[in-house]
Structure 1
Amino acid sequence: MSEKTHFHFTGICGTAMGAVASAMKRKGFTITGSDASVYPPMSDFLRGQGIEITEGYHEGNIPEGVDVVVIGNAISRGNPEAEAALNRKLLYHSLPEVMKDHFLRGKRNFVISGTHGKTTTSSMLAWLFRHAGKDPGFMIGGIPKNLGHGAQFTDSDINVLEGDEYDTAFFDKRSKFLHYLPECVVVNNIEFDHADIYNDVEEIKLSFKRLLNVVPSKGMAYVNGDERHCLDVAANAPCPVTTVGFGDGCELRISDVKYDEGSSSFTLGAESFTVPMTGEFNVRNAAMAVASAMFGGLSADEVREGLLAFGGIARRQELKGEKNGIKVIDDFAHHPTAIGLAVQSLRQKFPGAKLWVLFEPRSNTTRRKVFQKELAEALAKADVAIVAAIPDLEKIPENDRLDPVLLSADIAADGGIGYYLENNDAIIAKVKEGAKSGDVVAVLSNGGFGGIHKQLLEEL
């Protein structure tokens, strides 16, 4: 046990914060915490662990005699507890620092990184290890259906971590994944994203180069061998690198791909696998998970059996329901490339169906004009694309904002049918007016989109 025994978590109800807090409680630490919004299921889970939670942020929430204040990534200067930690000269850490000190050091840490596919790949890999009896710890930015929740830490020597290039905390602008002590890294792909903290893709590539710089000489980096930015990052890396992809130059080649309505089969190296998901990007994700699992010691047969039993992830092409023959799909895609890949995958899954895409520009990047052209090109691949109002637009400088009216016109110019509709009632009315039995309506957002999925199923 560390001499530091009392940890206070500011922002405790976040998925990763809550998982770490509860794991530390089980290790015998005294844990308190607070959050702006305290609600189930995380609040019930934490209180069930005997953790005291306070709603709202107040200086008095930080107990006298606390040893460490853990400050969440969403906390900024001006937060009363952040200010109290600074003014009282308390020891404060970011969540990744706490994870590194108490759960990652000395373990085999598998870090899954990239602009797209992190959640799917890390979910697959964690499940492959669990299915093989390894009981891994994991921290994933979604809810894998096989695992039931997004994060837990165990006594296993294996951890699977979704590695985000976003910054660590207001006081630590390094990427979070640099804290994770990786033995094995996956670099799925690299594109410009997070326009609120990065100026261009070269800055993002620098963070990924730094990630490969901390992979040990007995570790491994699996890198997308079909993508230039990934190859740039891997060039001259001090760790072993294996390129994975479809191209002839890839050291671990994906070949013999076949798609069915609910699955994809492929060969990786000399072994054949089937994953119960469709689309090229899911084959790429599965290939990275397979390679990493076998690096982790699993046999090809263990991997094959685990992949077949993989149940997917909530909010990744998840069928929310069907009404009068019209399917409503929920998907997290919000970056232009991810939108294009989601459309491609839905075409493969539902060949011949008319595809409606309802898009909410909600991320820090898609609310900005940086992807004005690319969003139009991606959305034009659907039969009908509807762009919703942009949430919290006032937080984006006026000269930097996405123009949704122009976006709908550009979709049409790129050969699609595009509409900009300002509220969910108008969107639902447009879908009701045009959708027919056999159509697929895909809702794309990294937020809740005002509960439009349920509304659609009630109204169609």
Structure 2
Amino acid sequence: MAPGLPTAMDRPHFIGIGGAGMSGIAKILAQRGAKVAGSDARESATAEALRTLGATVHIGHDAAHLASDATCVVVSSAIRADNPELARATELGIPVVHRSDALASLMEGLRPIAVAGTHGKTTTTSMLAVTLSTLGLDPSYAIGGDLDAPGSNALHGVGDIFVAEADESDRSFHKYAPEVAIVLNVELDHHANYASMDEIYESFETFAGKIVPGGTLVIAADQSGAAELTRRVRDLGELKVVTYGESEGSDLRIHKVTPRGLTSEVTVILNGKFLTFTVSVPGRHYAHNAVAALAAGIALGIPAHNLASALGSYTGVKRRLQLKGEAKGVQVIDSYAHHPTEMTADLEAMRSSAGDSRLLVLFQPHLFSRTQELGKEMGQALALADASVVLDIYPAREDPIPGITSALIIDAAVAAGADVRAVHDKTEAAAVVAGMTRPGDLVLTMGAGDVTDLGPQILAELSK
């Protein structure tokens, strides 16, 4: 039986309650019986989904939104010190709890699986949540994206397993003590918090050191950063290390990935025997995510053939190569990719399933710091498309950096031979992209910001 409410979390107030990570924790607390309240910058389907669970959601940030009887205020690293609700909490002496501490408290008394890595976390966490649910294990889970409806990023289950996406961006994944941890890849990102790969490795080593004694680290064998981390943690206490991938010597070896249109057939070698299953999303990297989920389930003691069968019930998560619709013979697909490795993986996946179709991309860079460090690589990734439109940088939590604009990406793309153009007015972008299409094309809206909103607008332009 899953535990009840953590101490002092029965009347929490969330600042930024509509965010992917924050809303998941709020949802689970509401399902456990907490009186949840919070605020967000704008109205959203997620806010409405929380209201249906009994949460009070205010739009806009105002000190008056914070009830004096709140038992704690939950914040993420994105909340600035001058937020009026945070300042009011300090005045009232209400404890301020970081999102990661709130999530860690929800895992207490359960068997946590924490999914980490520079990218692929949301997909792999989703695969595990769906697979374990299909097997009737009724897990709790907290995911960085919606499975199939607003608010479906989290669930309070009655089983004893808790699956959580573990965020390395601000080192908050150090707060968790999982029974099983997955590390999908280790690359330099989040440049505002990490100055070098050494700092990244140190952070992931700390995360691995939090795995409970006798627990398991499931880690990629093929990715260089993950392989280096494996070398560093091999002798860490009572830790069991299970590697997966296509490399010789992987504990769970991927024998073959066969594209089947918008799905893949995956064959692995486990204990000398072949095991084949279907992954209902395209691309080799999604196949690797599925094998990581398979390895984690095996580490929990679940039969491999049961897991393999149930993995086929996963049909995707919003913003991860999600088909938004079709008009005039043009399909519009949404991608959350914003790091060059993710961009390359999604573009290669779509290219492999596109056949002779043209691939057009509407890309929105995410964060000035990421563009400063990785803009050249982003531009090179866009060379995989037949043509691209690049928007201005989505700032999210950052202030502008002088001289850092989308031009860095466009210049690199042009140098790589790409057909690319800039559109600075986002309101014009849908019409520009629609005007570039012809029947049979695939259009990919790509980025971690609000570029996702432009998919329906492109479809509307095409339908005129």
Q: What is the TM-score normalised by the length of structure 2? A: 0.89
Question: Equivalent residues in 2 for 1:4-19 (5 A)?
Answer: 4=8, 5-19=10-24
Are the equivalent residues in 2 in contact too, given 1:409–1:418 (CA < 8 A)? Answer: no
Change (3 A) 1:429 1:43: closer
Match of 1:220 in 2: 216
RMSD: 2.5
Between the two proteins, what is the percent identity of the paired residues? 29
Residues 62-101 of structure 1 aligned to structure 2 (within 5 Å): 62-101=66-105
Closer/same/farther in 2, CA of residues 372 and 160 from structure 1, 3 Å limit: same
Residue 17 of structure 2 aligns to a residue whose secondary structure is coil
For the 8 Å contact 1:323–1:457, the answer to whether it is kept is yes
Structure 2: state its 5+ residue gaps: none
Decide which moves more: 202-211 or 55-64. 55-64
Which stretch shows the higher mean deviation, 347-356 or 405-414?
405-414
Kept after mapping to 2: 8 A contact 1:9/1:72: no
| Closer, same or farther: CA 226–455 of 1 in aligned 2, 3 Å | same
> Does the Cα contact within 8 Å between 1:112 and 1:186 map onto a contact in 2?
yes
Displacement after TM superposition at 1:298 (Å): 2.3
Shift of 1:348: 1.1
Moved more, 449-458 or 104-113: 449-458
Q: Does 1:264 align with 2:264?
A: yes
Task: Tell me the residue number matched to 1:235.
Answer: 231
The secondary structure found in structure 2 opposite 1:235 is helix
2:203 corresponds, among 187, 191, 207, to: 207
Structure 1 position 235, deviation (Å): 2.2
In the other structure, the counterpart of 1:449 is: 451
Aligned position for 1:171: none
Q: Is the 8 A contact 1:278 1:345 kept in 2?
A: yes
8 Å Cα contact 2:364/2:446 also seen in 1:
yes
Q: In structure 2, how many angstroms separate the alpha carbons of the residues matched to 1:148 and 1:24?
A: 13
Tell me the amino acid that sits aligned with residue 136 of structure 1.
P
Superposed CA offset, 1:172-216 (max 9, x none): xxx222222211111111111112222222222221111000112
* 1:364 CA drift (Å): 4.8
Q: Equivalent of 2:178, from 182, 185, 192?
A: 182
1:300 aligns with 2:296: no
Contact 2:358 2:441 (C-alpha < 8 Å) held by counterparts: yes
What letter corresponds to residue 132 of structure 2 in structure 1? F
**Does the 8 Å CA contact 1:127/1:146 hold for their aligned counterparts?**
no
1:132 pairs with 2:135: yes
Which of 408, 424, 443 aligns to 1:422? It is 424
1:98-129 per-position Cα deviation (integer Å, ceiling 9, x unaligned): 2323x211211111111111111110011110
Q: 1:390 to 1:21 in 2, by over 3 A?
A: closer
1:156 paired residue among 131, 156, 159: 159
SS at match of 2:320: coil
Are the structure 2 counterparts of residues 41 and 408 from structure 1 closer, same or farther at C-alpha, using a change threshold of 3 Å? Answer: closer
Q: Residues 55 and 457 (structure 1 numbering): CA distance in 2 closer, same or farther, change over 3 Å?
A: closer
**Is residue 221–residue 245 contact of structure 2 (8 Å, CA) maintained in 1?**
yes
Cα 1:386–1:20 shift into 2, 3 Å: closer
Contact 2:360 2:385 in 1 (8 A): yes
Preserved CA contact (<8 Å) 2:367 2:395: no
CA distance in 2, matches of 1:91, 1:140: 25
> Does the Cα contact within 8 Å between 2:127 and 2:314 map onto a contact in 1?
yes
Q: Which amino acid aligns with 1:382?
A: A
Q: Match for residue 252 of structure 2?
A: 252
Aligned to 1:192: 188
For 1:152 and 1:425, how far apart are their aligned partners in 2?
A: 36
Alpha-carbon distance in structure 1 between the residues aligned to 2:128 and 2:218: 13
Question: Which residue type is aligned with residue 341 of structure 2?
Answer: T
Cα deviation, 1:52-88, whole Å, max 9, x if unaligned, reads: 4444433344333543332344322011222233344
On the 8 A contact 2:325/2:331 being kept in 1, the answer is yes
SS for the counterpart of 1:328 is strand
1:389 aligns with 2:392: yes
Change (3 A) 1:240 1:193: same
Aligned residue number for residue 125 of structure 2: 122
Amino acid at match of 2:207: L
Query: Which moved further from structure 2: 259-268 or 8-17?
Result: 8-17
1: CA distance, partners of 2:413 / 2:144: 31
**Alignment correspondent of 1:109:** 112
Which one-letter code corresponds to 2:266 in the other structure?
F
Equivalent pair of 2:377/2:412 in contact (CA under 8 Å) = no
Aligned counterparts, 1:9-48, within 5 A: 9-29=14-34, 31-37=35-41, 39-48=43-52
Q: 1:123·1:144 contact (CA, 8 Å) conserved in 2?
A: yes
1:20–1:2 distance in 2 versus 1, CA, 3 Å: closer
* Native 8 Å contact 1:334 1:363 kept in 2: no
Q: Is the deviation greater in 124-133 or in 187-196?
A: 187-196
Q: Please state whether the residue corresponding to 2:141 is helix, strand or coil.
A: strand
The answer to whether the Cα contact below 8 Å between 2:145 and 2:317 also exists between their aligned partners in 1 is yes
CA contact (8 A) 1:34 1:56 kept: no
Instruction: Specify the alignment match of 2:382 in structure 1.
Output: 379
Distance 1:361 1:108 in 2: 37
- The alpha-carbon distance between structure 1 residues 365 and 144, as it changes in their structure 2 partners (threshold 3 A), is farther
Displacement after TM superposition at 1:406 (Å): 4.6
Task: Deviation per CA, 1:315-335: give whole Å up to 9, x if none.
Answer: 111121222222111111111
SS of equivalent to 1:348: helix
Deviation at 1:449, TM superposition (A): 1.9
User: If the length of structure 1 is used for normalisation, what is the TM-score?
Assistant: 0.90
The Cα shift of 1:374 comes to 0.7
The question of whether the paired residues in 2 share the 8 Å contact of 1:386 and 1:418 is answered with yes
- Contact between 2:367 and 2:394, CA under 8 Å: does it hold in 1? no
Classify the secondary structure of the residue corresponding to 1:395.
coil
> Which piece of structure 1 moves more, 43-52 or 278-287?
43-52
| Range with greater deviation from structure 2 (229-238 or 336-345) | 229-238
CA drift at 1:339: 0.8
**Cα offset, 1:365, TM superposition:** 4.1
